[in-house]
Amino acid sequence: MSPHRLAATAAGVALLLHAAAPFAQERGTEGLPKEAVLEVEEEHTTAVLGPASPHWVYVLDPVFPHLIASKVYVVDGDSVRIIGMINTGYVPNIALSPDGSRIYVAETYYSRGTRGERTDVVTYFDGSTLEATGETVLPRGRFLVVPKKPDAALTFGGRYLLSFNMDPATTVSVVDVVEQKYVTDIEVPGCSLVFPTGERSFSMLCPDGSFVDVAFEPDGTATIRDQEPFFDSEDDPVFEHGVVSEKDGRAFFVSYEGMVYEAKIEDGRMRVAASWSLLSDADRAESWRPGGWQLMAYHAPSDRLFVLMHRGGRWTHKHAGEEVWVFDANTHERLQRIPLEHHSITISVSQDENPLLFALSEEASLTVIDLGSGEVKGVLEGLGDSPFLTYVVGE
């Protein structure tokens, strides 16, 4: 700062003191409530979050109007307030360590913003300070798409991050997040996305409506096993956003027309065990169907499945949900219909005994509902530009 500027600033400070002085003389601070008396000089600190709460939700905003500069907000569902944010790159994906102490971000950068050399990287963030602590480069790149959760996932136990890649050949990059080391890319021709099925195994969805099961060794050698189709990928495809429960060893996928396919995870393989419909004849007559983006959530402690539903014809599969339908995943009985004032494209459910439902709308609002009381705890409006995905600890 130049001496001239410094003098001007000093004058400003002096003015401020001068202006405040008569007020202080006149009123003093005696008799005022304690909280009304400000510290004359306070220390400026930076907040840390501490251990992750099951009631926090991590909201990924790809920021459609400025795709190269995306964000992840951390929101406390109890207070319905933002408690932190991290900056992320071009169409990123994230994964939370099982205890939420680390956030892994798979992201893409160009060295001059929209130009220059491309780098694909997994960045490690401390879940408490929200500061980047390291990175691992993905040499084969990653899948560039409007972010979907199964673009990247942690294996059971959280040792390996799997990052799907389409360039347009399809591979899965494996990163050891403990050693912070790139392991390999596993080529799985034609199949997409990653659904973990074990500590070193995952499944993918293939164009013919089948799973392919992949297992790998710590050195990166892989075994790939095909399966038979379990759904009609021409007439009634399943949505990409299936849910996998590590805790219960089961996974659920739902189709455009409302069929649920339940898989049991056995020896690192997806075994489709049952299929049933979300819809009764009466529901179909009213044109109810599943839809949205991250349209399904599973609450492992109560075996409940949550699905966003709207009324519409075929090819409305990304339309926002008017209601969340709640099903008993064992009896397939519909337990509840939760109407949404803000129609939503994405839902998550916290994995504790007193679960919260988080619902994102296309108007960038987050609604938090206490599933115990059914009460709306709050609505956070203006949460970024285009929030699309939500993550909770212990999914």
65 binds other proteins (CB under 8 A): yes
Backbone angles phi, psi at 275, to 5 degrees: -140, 145
Near other proteins in 87-126, by CB under 8 A: 90-91, 108, 110, 113-115, 118
* Number of residues in contact with other proteins under rule CB under 8 A: 41
Return the amino acid letter for 121: V
Q: Which is nearer to other proteins, 345 or 371 (CB)?
A: 345
Distance in Å, CB of 386 to other proteins, minimum: 9
Of these, 99, 235, 267, 341, which contacts other proteins (CB under 8 A)? 235
| Sign of CA pseudo-dihedral 364, 318, 298, 64 | negative
| Residues in a beta bridge with 184 | 174
**Cis peptide bond upstream of 168, omega within 30:** yes
224 binds other proteins (CB under 8 A): no
Question: x/- string (CB under 8 A) for other proteins, residues 301-320?
Answer: ------------xxxxxx--
Q: Which is nearer to other proteins, 148 or 269 (CB)?
A: 148
CB 312 within 8 A of CB 300: no
CB 159 within 8 A of CB 104: no
Q: Which is nearer to other proteins, 78 or 257 (CB)?
A: 257
205 binds other proteins (CB under 8 A): yes
Q: Which is nearer to other proteins, 181 or 225 (CB)?
A: 225
Residue with tokens 């993905």: 138
State whether residue 284 is helix, strand or coil. Answer: helix
213-221 long-range Cβ contacts below 8 angstroms, 24+ apart: 213/268, 213/269, 213/270, 214/172, 214/186, 214/188, 215/268, 216/174, 216/183, 216/184, 216/186, 218/176, 218/183, 219/183, 220/174, 220/183, 220/184, 220/186
295 binds other proteins (CB under 8 A): no
300 binds other proteins (CB under 8 A): no
Q: Which is nearer to other proteins, 204 or 296 (CB)?
A: 204
The DSSP call for residue 16 is: H
Distance in Å, CB of 152 to other proteins, minimum: 13
* Maximal CA-CA distance, the chain: 85
204 binds other proteins (CB under 8 A): yes
146 binds other proteins (CB under 8 A): yes
Residues that bind other proteins (CB under 8 A): 64-68, 90-91, 108, 110, 113-115, 118, 143-146, 148, 166-168, 191-193, 204-207, 233-235, 237-240, 313-318
